[in-house]
């Protein structure tokens, strides 16, 4: 009996010892897990490095850059954060060459004006790519300037004829710049703007947006598009949404927290809790990296709910992690903008985010205009009113439209350009009517005079030979209606024949300039019978009519408004938005989105996925059903006295998602697809331009003093024709004298 009792006691003591050891091990493991959580939170809060890649394709260069000739050059400005040092910047240049004509070829690469690579090629074709490090110094301008120079020539007696067409260098759009930077070094709204990628995610709350937030979102999106960005509307994820786990990196120390553990893996995942949304906000997956946000009450509440839910899970795993979690939220999980009319710099997912209050949309859009954005040298601003100044009168100096100097070193060709945005610079429906240029050029090495050509939106409007004596010379051209667009570019192209005196001299450049007293003359917009006449009228105080139900689908419908407003030249600062539940009666130029307009013609009829188009006489010329991924937009002149506008109509159940910006350049009707305009149609009868001069008018208006211009422009032709005329006159005179003598002899 005593032996059994002793054995029982030994077993009991052994069991208690094992249990105690297990508890110690479990306690030690729990402490280790807790320590790992705290360390991971601390490491994540200190991780402020942002890595970016900017490619030529992202900048809109979708075809290879082709260089050929004696001296071909091309500059590309790669955007980076302004005044922020870079970390490990590297340029990967993807290029190839063809050497069909032989001779000497040289390829030089410049970075910020300094040559970093120079090579000569001897094979018939080959790879010209390279990887090269870039200086990490901060750049106030916010750009790395990539310069490409290609020279190809063959040995000939006349150096100026040593041009080749078979020696070509092509730089691929896949060329890119990789770099990283410390997000904490971005300290102002202005520098945060320069840190924006070409593809910008604009964050809004999930669910139905209120009217102010919707209004602010489309204005910010339009301002971004006008700045050359591509806007993606991103709504905050909600429980039940499906996300892609690819690209999400969860630190090992946080995988004991259920919300973080749920995001480990690949493929699709359905969000199961608010805590998982909080984890997504802190980790910053590729699908949730906003750079601009509309900070309304709904978004702030949704973010707070998600972060609080995540915090509860973290504290359950490690009650001592409160301080580390709070530090993490301050650096990576908070959008701070809580004052009226406020624009602020904040950080989410370790990246800088520009946060805009819902009542600051119009002023914020004005602040981000090219003219004013450099003034945002603060972390918080109260923007009550920001608009570009409206140019008064009918004279616009070209120097006011561009900050670029007009001086050009001209070897054989040089260009100068200026941009005119009707929405920001002009008002009252005025458009460019006439271009008055003052140019000058220095004498060259030969008597061949340089030629200057004037382009407006790539239309050649006029050209002239210059005297090239270093004095101002005036060129005046008229701007036709068909050349007008919401954003216009005046381009002045100089060309001169280089000379080397039969290889005894090296061809050198000579200066030319577009002088500051060059100007545009404005005139009234053409009649609003088509897109050309309508778009200038939308650049002022236009009205946007949007269906009420679009508020419940902001992620789909906002992009439609942004792209149509961009194509229409609408001003994000001056336009007004109205939410309509029935047909509307506009009182000013307008754009109506899936909204009936009283008094408009019915040349477009939509019935589900069926589209019917007819002319003004009611004759149907297009009737097709079963359409997908298309929409139609048309100009509307309405009844007599009503304002003109654009009417956009969706076809089918889904709202068309346009991926790229487009132009409404001709006609009065356009069918749209995912990549922009599929077809332009003009249902109006042709209209004769009464201002256009006929050939008979030209003959009737000829004046003798016009011969002076002929003598100056073509002296050889002038004197040759004059000599022929004098010779004919003398021949006629001699024959008349002979005839008179014969008559006298007969008498």
Tell me if 233 sits within 8 A of 25, measured CB to CB: no
pLDDT at 740: 63
Q: Chain-centre distance of CA 385, in angstroms?
A: 24
Tell me if 241 sits within 8 A of 212, measured CB to CB: no
Q: Euclidean distance between the first and final Cα of the chain, in Å?
A: 184
Q: In this structure, what token pair is assigned to residue 351?
A: 């990246």
pLDDT at 56: 92
Smallest Cα–Cα separation from 406: which of 382, 441, 371, 436?
441
Q: Rg of the Cα trace of the chain? A: 35
Q: In this structure, what token pair is assigned to residue 717?
A: 């032709």
Distance CA 566, CA 470 (A): 42
3-state secondary structure (DSSP) of residue 405: coil
pLDDT at 682: 86
Strand partners, 633: 648, 670
Handedness of CA 422, 428, 431, 433 (dihedral sign): negative
pLDDT at 538: 86
* Phi, psi dihedrals of residue 245, rounded to the nearest 5°: -80, -15
Question: Tokens 């989410």 — which residue?
Answer: 348
pTM: 0.80
Tell me if 647 sits within 8 A of 606, measured CB to CB: no
pLDDT at 523: 83
Smallest Cα–Cα separation from 259: which of 240, 241, 273, 239?
273
What length does the chain have?
747
Smallest Cα–Cα separation from 682: which of 639, 620, 634?
634
- Residues 656-684 as b/e (b if ≥16 CB within 10 A, e otherwise) read bebeeebbbbebbbbbbbeebbeebbebb
Strand partners, 51: 180
Q: Establish how many alpha carbons lie within 13 A of residue 338's alpha carbon, considering only the half-sphere containing its beta carbon.
A: 5
Distance CA 541, CA 596 (A): 20
Q: Establish how many alpha carbons lie within 13 A of residue 354's alpha carbon, considering only the half-sphere containing its beta carbon.
A: 31
Tell me if 468 sits within 8 A of 434, measured CB to CB: no
Smallest Cα–Cα separation from 683: which of 665, 699, 667, 707?
667
Q: Establish how many alpha carbons lie within 13 A of residue 417's alpha carbon, considering only the half-sphere containing its beta carbon.
A: 13
pLDDT at 427: 57
* Phi, psi dihedrals of residue 417, rounded to the nearest 5°: -145, 160
Average pLDDT of adjacent 10-residue blocks, the chain of 747 residues: 48 47 41 68 86 90 87 88 93 92 86 92 91 93 91 61 71 95 92 91 94 95 91 94 90 91 91 94 89 92 92 89 85 78 90 93 90 90 85 73 63 77 63 88 79 90 87 90 82 77 63 85 81 82 92 93 91 91 89 89 87 86 91 79 87 84 85 90 60 35 43 55 68 67 55
Distance CA 196, CA 288 (A): 15
Tell me if 78 sits within 8 A of 93, measured CB to CB: no
pLDDT at 736: 64
Q: Which residues are CB-neighbours of 30 under 8 A, at least 6 positions away?
A: none
Distance CA 475, CA 128 (A): 43
**DSSP classification of residue 388:** P
pLDDT at 237: 94
pLDDT at 710: 44
**% of the chain at pLDDT higher than 90:** 37
* Phi, psi dihedrals of residue 545, rounded to the nearest 5°: -100, 120
Q: Which residues are CB-neighbours of 518 under 8 A, at least 6 positions away?
A: 397, 398, 399, 406, 435, 436, 437, 438, 439
């Amino acid at each position: 009996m005593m032996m059994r009792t002793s054995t029982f006691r030994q077993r009991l003591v052994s069991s208690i010892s094992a249990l105690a050891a297990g508890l110690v091990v479990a306690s030690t493991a729990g402490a280790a897990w807790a320590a790992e959580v705290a360390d991971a939170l601390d490491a994540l809060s200190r991780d402020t490095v942002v890595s970016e890649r900017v490619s030529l394709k992202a900048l809109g260069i979708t075809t290879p850059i082709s260089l050929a000739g004696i001296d071909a050059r091309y500059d590309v400005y790669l955007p980076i954060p302004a005044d922020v040092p870079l970390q490990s910047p590297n340029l990967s240049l993807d290029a190839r060459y063809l050497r069909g004509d032989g001779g000497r070829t040289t390829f030089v690469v410049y970075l910020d004006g300094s040559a970093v690579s120079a090579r000569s090629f001897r094979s018939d074709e080959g790879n010209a790519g390279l990887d090269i490090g870039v200086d990490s110094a901060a750049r106030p301008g916010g750009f790395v300037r990539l310069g490409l120079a290609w020279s190809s020539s063959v040995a000939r007696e006349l150096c100026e004829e040593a041009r080749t067409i078979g020696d070509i260098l092509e730089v691929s759009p896949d060329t890119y710049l990789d770099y990283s930077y410390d997000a904490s070094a971005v300290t102002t709204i202005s520098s945060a703007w320069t840190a924006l990628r070409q593809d910008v995610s604009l964050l809004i709350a999930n669910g139905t947006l209120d009217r102010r937030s919707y209004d602010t979102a489309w204005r910010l999106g339009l301002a971004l598009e006008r700045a050359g960005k591509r806007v993606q509307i991103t709504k905050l994820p909600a429980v039940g949404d499906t996300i892609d786990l690819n690209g999400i990196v969860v630190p090992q120390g946080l995988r004991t927290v259920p919300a973080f553990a749920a995001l480990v893996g690949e493929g699709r995942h359905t969000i199961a809790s608010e805590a998982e949304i909080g984890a997504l906000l802190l980790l910053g997956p590729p699908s949730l990296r906003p750079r601009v946000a509309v900070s309304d009450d709904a978004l702030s509440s949704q973010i707070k709910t998600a972060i609080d839910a995540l915090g509860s899970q973290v504290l359950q795993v490690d009650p001592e992690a409160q301080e580390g979690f709070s530090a993490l939220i301050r650096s990576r999980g908070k959008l701070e903008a809580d004052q009226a009319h406020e624009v602020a710099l904040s950080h989410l997912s370790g990246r800088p985010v520009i946060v805009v209050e819902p009542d600051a949309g119009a002023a914020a859009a004005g602040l981000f205009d090219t003219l004013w954005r450099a003034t945002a040298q603060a972390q918080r601003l109260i923007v009550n009113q920001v608009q570009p100044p409206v140019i008064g009168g009918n004279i616009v100096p070209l120097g006011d439209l561009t900050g670029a100097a007009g001086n050009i070193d001209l070897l054989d060709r040089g260009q100068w350009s200026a941009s005119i945005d009707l929405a920001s610079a002009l008002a009252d429906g005025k458009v460019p009517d006439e271009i008055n240029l003052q140019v000058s050029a220095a004498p060259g090495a030969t008597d061949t005079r340089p030629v200057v050509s004037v382009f407006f939106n790539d239309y050649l409007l006029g050209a002239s030979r210059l005297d090239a004596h270093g004095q101002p010379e005036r060129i005046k051209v008229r701007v036709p209606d068909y050349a007008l667009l919401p954003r216009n570019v005046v381009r002045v192209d100089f060309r001169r024949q280089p000379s080397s005196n039969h290889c005894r001299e090296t061809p050198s450049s000579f200066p030319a300039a577009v002088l500051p007293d060059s100007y545009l003359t404005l005139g009234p917009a053409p009649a609003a019978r088509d897109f050309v006449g309508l778009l200038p009228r939308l650049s002022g105080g236009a009205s946007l009519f949007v269906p009420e139900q679009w508020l419940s689908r902001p992620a789909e419908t906002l992009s439609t408004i942004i792209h149509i407003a961009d194509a229409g030249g609408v001003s994000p600062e001056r336009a007004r938005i109205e939410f309509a539940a029935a047909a509307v009666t506009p009182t000013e130029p307008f754009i109506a989105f899936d909204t009936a307009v009283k008094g408009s013609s019915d040349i477009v009829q939509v019935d589900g996925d069926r589209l019917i188009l007819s002319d003004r006489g009611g004759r149907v010329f297009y009737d097709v059903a079963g359409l997908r991924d298309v929409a139609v937009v048309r100009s509307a002149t309405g009844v007599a006295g009503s304002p003109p506008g654009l009417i956009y109509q969706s076809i089918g159940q889904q709202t068309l998602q346009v991926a790229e910006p487009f132009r409404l350049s001709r006609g009065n009707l356009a069918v749209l697809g995912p990549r922009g305009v599929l077809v332009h149609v003009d249902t109006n009868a042709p209209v004769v331009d009464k201002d256009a001069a006929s050939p008979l008018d030209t003959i009737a208006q000829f004046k003798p003093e016009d011969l002076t211009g002929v003598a100056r422009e073509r002296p050889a032709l002038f004197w040759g024709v004059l000599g022929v005329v004098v010779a004919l006159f003398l021949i006629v005179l001699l024959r008349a004298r002979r005839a008179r003598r014969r008559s006298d002899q007969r008498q």
